[in-house]
């Protein structure tokens, strides 16, 4: 250990707290949240600035996205190329942004969630509005610059954005412990509200909302909670309810097509496919029987999702069902959180506009201060040149009589004539009276002879008059707030005229969607499941016409109610319930649906012992038999449960259910073990138990022996089975007692 080193002892919890706070603030400030002044996150700001520095402007050729991403990452944003390219892609997508900032060329994704092509294929350049409203005055020292991550470059701390971009384009981001979600708004409305604030700084949020009616999503749609918007914009938080736009079209045969032409903003991306799936699921689950067909006919021209309905369908009621049961009606959570004066702050509408206007005054002050300094410098030089033109003969005499530039400059600035040869005493006296400034003297010494032409002198005088006018104008702007406000308003009007567009989203107080669900008449159907686990239902008439084929081809066939449930008993002692309505109804040859898809049953971990209708179980008792010969009689009413899965019986370690059968008119039960022992005894020897009980032993088993099969016999009815290739008469087995060993059958 170095002698100068010293150990600093600190509390672990305090160090963790401090480190986490530092990390959280780094994420909040440097990555996740936008700055209220320009509405941009650091990665967006750096990408736009890098494109500006590379000269990839709106009126120049496109450049490869990989070039932009690589340059941005190497100079300003060393956090990986994916975040930079994702940011570039989003800023080019007009269906996500109220106003796209980047002009993308190539596959930049689409509204249905398809991603952009790799950055090596796509090209990009700045939009005209980005160049004019975001980056135009960077050369006028209007914002501060800071060193980049390795202090080899300079980058702006904020872009000199001339419109309230945070409202126009909105923003979303997740930081540590906080999230921002600002909806996009209409550019014209935002500019009108900004102008209203410039004209009256005491304007309220309510008054601002005369201009900003609400959010204007690029996907259109209908905001249906207009009355709640004032509170949302006054607090900066809340939920905006938005619906898709629906139209009705007449189709062939008197049918009606429901056509969705605009979708809720939260639906963009993969949620469009999910919406289509949800609508199809409504038909499959028989929540509605009105759907004939559904197709997505969307294209570059816009969204068009067509749902064809039955001839007698109630279209209005169907649309209300879509609002209730799908994402055709959705909510946009508003949390107007942004970086303000270096810290995260939830702001209301007035605070955001105030912050943007204050920023406009800051950049305008710096801009016109810089311009005034330039004009004052130009005025000084112009006055020196005009004065020089009046005494041009004397100046030429000084230049010809001087030995070097320094001697001539000293004469022009200080009137020193030492060492200079003059033609006359008058010239010598006049030279001592010259009092040009340093800048004027340099301009005179660098002046070219053609400037002495009459027209050039007149142009210089005219230019001087323009300079004086500019100085007067700039001083007026800097001295009077009203003048500066008018300049800002004039710029805003220019942006509104060139880039404004009509509102897309409708704002209204929509009525609550009321959906009257049609009552389904209870009927009897037949449950069918094949040996591969595919299940379905068919109506009674179809079953009766194909009874022989159905009973032969399917493993489980029994009647049940269409509004009832089916119970699956498995070897693990579980009972899974399935709503019959969840099963597809069709024809005998239809494939059906895997039983795993409509229940908690897992075919990889358990096997089905038997399946029965829950309504039938209520009227009977069930006989449970396990591999270790535990058995019991359970009242079927215990299985009338709402849960999708319950324990049907309790099992010992290493045990599993072999048979579950309903007790009807069976007289005797026959247990067969894998070692070939058979035991026949009366069914009435099986005691009734609760489903939570283990049961009693049915027969004594030898070491490693287990019950393999269970059979039942009736009085005066011969029951035979195939056992090891020969026919075995079960009724011929010796009648024994429960909990005995049984007899070994040798064949």
Angle between helices 81-92 and 42-53 in degrees, nearest 10: 80
Helix and strand element counts for the chain (H, E): 21, 35
Q: What is the DSSP string of 366-412?
A: HHHHHHHHHHHHHHHHHHHHHHHHHTHHHHHHHHHH-SSHHHHHHHH
HSE toward the beta carbon, residue 657, CA cutoff 13 A = 27
Say if residues 675 and 709 touch (Cβ distance below 8 Å): no
What is the Cα–Cα distance from 671 to 658, expressed in whole angstroms? 10
Number of Cβ within 10 Å of residue 577's Cβ equals 21
Helix residue ranges per DSSP H, 209-304 = 226-235, 270-284
In degrees and rounded to multiples of 5, residue 480 shows phi and psi of -120, 125
What is the Cα–Cα distance from 602 to 595, expressed in whole angstroms? 9
Say if residues 117 and 64 touch (Cβ distance below 8 Å): no
Query: For residue 116, what are the contacts with CB-CB under 8 A and spacing of at least 6?
Result: 85, 89, 104, 106, 107, 108, 109, 122
What is the Cα–Cα distance from 738 to 735, expressed in whole angstroms? 10
Residue 600 tokens read as: 């908690």
Query: For residue 490, what are the contacts with CB-CB under 8 A and spacing of at least 6?
Result: none
What is the Cα–Cα distance from 68 to 122, expressed in whole angstroms? 11
Which DSSP symbol is given to 517?
P
Say if residues 563 and 614 touch (Cβ distance below 8 Å): no
- Residue that has been written with the tokens 């009413």 in this structure: 637
Q: Write out the H or E segment, with its range, that includes residue 156.
A: strand 154-156
Closest by CA to 360, choosing from 595, 212, 163, is 163
- Buried b / exposed e along 642-678 (16+ C-beta atoms within 10 A): eeeebebbbbeeebbbbbbbebeebebbbbbbeebbb
Integer-rounded Cα radius of gyration of the chain: 43
What is the Cα–Cα distance from 35 to 39, expressed in whole angstroms? 5
Helix residue ranges per DSSP H, 218-334 = 226-235, 270-284, 315-325
Which DSSP symbol is given to 599?
S
Closest by CA to 323, choosing from 504, 514, 518, 517, is 514
Say if residues 185 and 166 touch (Cβ distance below 8 Å): no
Query: For residue 4, what are the contacts with CB-CB under 8 A and spacing of at least 6?
Result: none
> Which position among 58, 121, 265, 711 bears the catalytic label?
121
601 labelled catalytic:
no
Residues belonging to the active site: 121
């Amino acid at each position: 250990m170095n002698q100068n080193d010293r150990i600093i002892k600190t509390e672990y919890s305090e160090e963790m707290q401090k480190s986490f706070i530092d990390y959280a603030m780094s994420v909040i400030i440097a990555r996740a949240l936008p700055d209220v002044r320009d509405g941009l996150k650091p990665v967006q700001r750096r990408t736009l600035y890098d494109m500006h520095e590379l000269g990839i402007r709106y009126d120049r050729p496109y450049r490869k996205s990989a070039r932009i991403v690589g340059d941005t990452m190497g100079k300003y944003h060393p956090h990986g190329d994916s975040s930079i390219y994702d940011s570039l892609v989003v800023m080019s997508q007009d269906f996500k942004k109220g106003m796209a900032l980047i002009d993308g060329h190539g596959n930049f994704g689409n509204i249905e969630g398809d991603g952009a092509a790799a950055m090596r294929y796509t090209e990009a350049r700045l939009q005209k509005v980005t160049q004019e409203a975001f980056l135009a005055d960077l050369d006028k020292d209007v914002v501060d610059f800071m060193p980049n991550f390795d202090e080899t470059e300079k980058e702006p701390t904020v872009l000199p954005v001339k419109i309230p971009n945070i409202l126009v384009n909105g923003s979303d981001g997740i930081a540590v412990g906080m999230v921002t979600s600002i909806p996009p708004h209409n550019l014209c409305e935002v500019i009108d509200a900004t102008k209203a604030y410039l004209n009256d700084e005491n304007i309220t949020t309510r008054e601002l909302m005369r201009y900003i009616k609400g959010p204007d999503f690029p996907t259109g749609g209908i905001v249906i909670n207009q009355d709640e918007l004032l509170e949302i914009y006054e607090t900066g938080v809340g939920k905006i309810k938005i619906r898709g736009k629906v139209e009705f079209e007449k189709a062939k045969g008197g049918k009606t097509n429901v056509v969705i032409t605009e979708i809720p903003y939260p639906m963009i991306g993969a949620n469009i496919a999910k919406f289509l799936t949800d609508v199809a699921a409504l038909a499959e689950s028989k929540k509605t029987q009105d759907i004939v067909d559904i197709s997505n006919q969307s294209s570059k021209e816009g969204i068009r999702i067509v749902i064809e309905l039955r001839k007698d369908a109630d279209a209005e009621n169907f649309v209300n069902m879509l609002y209730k049961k799908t994402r055709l009606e959705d909510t946009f959570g508003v949390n107007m959180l942004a970086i303000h004066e270096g810290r995260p702050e939830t702001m209301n509408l007035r605070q955001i506009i105030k912050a943007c206007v204050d920023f406009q005054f800051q950049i305008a002050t710096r801009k016109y201060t810089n311009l005034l300094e330039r004009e004052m410098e130009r005025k000084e030089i112009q006055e020196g040149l005009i004065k020089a033109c009046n005494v041009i003969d004397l100046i030429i005499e000084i230049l010809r009589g001087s030995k070097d530039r320094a001697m001539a400059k000293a004469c022009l600035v200080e009137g020193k004539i030492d060492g200079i040869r003059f033609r006359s005493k008058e010239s010598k006296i006049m030279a001592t009276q010259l009092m040009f400034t340093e800048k004027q003297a340099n301009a005179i010494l660098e002046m070219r002879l053609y400037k002495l032409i009459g027209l050039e002198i007149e142009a210089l005088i005219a230019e001087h008059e323009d300079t004086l006018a500019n100085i007067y104008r700039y001083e007026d702007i800097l001295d009077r707030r009203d003048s500066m406000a008018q300049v800002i308003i004039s710029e805003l009007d220019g942006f509104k005229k060139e880039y404004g567009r009509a509102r897309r989203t409708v704002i209204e107080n929509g009525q609550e969607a009321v959906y009257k669900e049609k009552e389904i008449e209870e009927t009897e159907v037949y449950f069918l499941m094949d040996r591969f686990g595919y299940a379905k239902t068919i109506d009674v008439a179809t079953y009766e016409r194909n009874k022989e084929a159905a009973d032969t081809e399917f493993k489980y066939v029994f009647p049940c109610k269409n509004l009832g449930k089916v119970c699956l008993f498995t070897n693990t002692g579980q009972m899974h319930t399935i709503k019959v309505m969840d099963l597809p109804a069709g024809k005998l040859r239809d494939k059906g649906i895997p039983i795993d898809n409509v229940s908690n049953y897992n075919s990889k971990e358990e096997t089905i012992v038997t399946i029965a209708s829950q309504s039938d179980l209520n009227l009977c008792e069930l006989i449970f038999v396990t591999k270790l010969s535990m058995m019991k009689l359970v009242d079927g009413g215990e299985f009338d449960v709402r849960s999708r899965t319950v324990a049907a019986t309790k099992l010992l370690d290493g045990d599993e259910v072999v048979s579950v059968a309903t007790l009807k008119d069976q007289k005797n039960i026959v247990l067969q073990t894998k070692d070939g022992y058979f035991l026949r005894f009366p069914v009435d020897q099986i005691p009734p138990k609760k489903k939570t009980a283990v049961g009693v032993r049915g027969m004594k088993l030898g070491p490693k022996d287990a019950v393999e099969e269970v059979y039942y016999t009736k009085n005066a009815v011969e029951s035979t089975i195939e056992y090891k290739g020969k026919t075995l008469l079960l009724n011929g087995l010796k009648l024994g007692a429960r909990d005995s060993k049984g007899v070994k059958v040798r064949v």
